[in-house]
Amino acid sequence: MTVSKTVGEFRNVNGALVGFIACGEIDLPRARLKPISSNNPRAPKFEVEAINRNGRWVPYGALFEATAINTTGEIFYSGELDDQSWRFPMQVALFGTAEEGFRASWRRDDMARPAGRAQRNRGGEDYEGGERSIGGGERGPSGGGFGGSTAPLDGEGGTRGFAGDLDEDVPF
């Protein structure tokens, strides 16, 4: 199932498509759609730019033209916005026209598990919560979800002789 919600809008202001995109973690309060001219029919139609904290316009992604095939045949623009400061890229779709303006919708697949359903462990039994082992190796279970280490506790044998003969004075 796909979840979507409106996260912004763009309006035609003196021939420029300006607006915003905002959600819980992402806020582009001053954004614009910059038309892209290309002879390639598969090229994006718009570049999405926004003002960064230093006052510069920077690109966040591109939008490609698509057609709604399951409903009205409406033309919309779809793409991915991303920045290295974000935890995840944002999938967006814009609906509307350049003359009337666009509504920006965020979308993602809903990976949530229905409430009340138990997870199954490898043995096939239901797991309802409580303590469970998440690690292995000689060190046993560890916290943090990464499992236990498989390296021996005494440090011998795990590096095939590489680290065993290091001097305390390492030239750097």
User: pLDDT > 70: what percent of the chain?
Assistant: 60
Q: Where along the chain do its domains lie?
A: 2-109
pLDDT above 80 for 144: no
* Residue 126 and residue 119 in contact, taking contact as beta carbons nearer than 8 Å: yes
Segment of 4-8, 44-48, 66-70, 109-113 carrying the highest mean pLDDT: 44-48
Residue 78, pLDDT score: 95
Predicted confidence (pLDDT) at residue 88 exceeds the cutoff of 50 = yes
| Dist CA 42 CA 158 (whole Å) | 52
**What pLDDT is attached to residue 131?**
43
Token couple for 106:
């965020």
Instruction: Report pLDDT for 33.
Output: 97
Given a cut of 60, whether residue 123 has pLDDT beyond it is: no
- The chain-wide mean pLDDT, for the chain, equals 76
- Whether pTM exceeds 0.85: no
| Model pLDDT for residues 11-44, shown as the tens digit of each residue | 999 999 999 999 988 899 999 999 999 999 999 9
pLDDT at 170 over 50: yes
- Reported as a pLDDT band with limits 50, 70 and 90, residue 165 is low
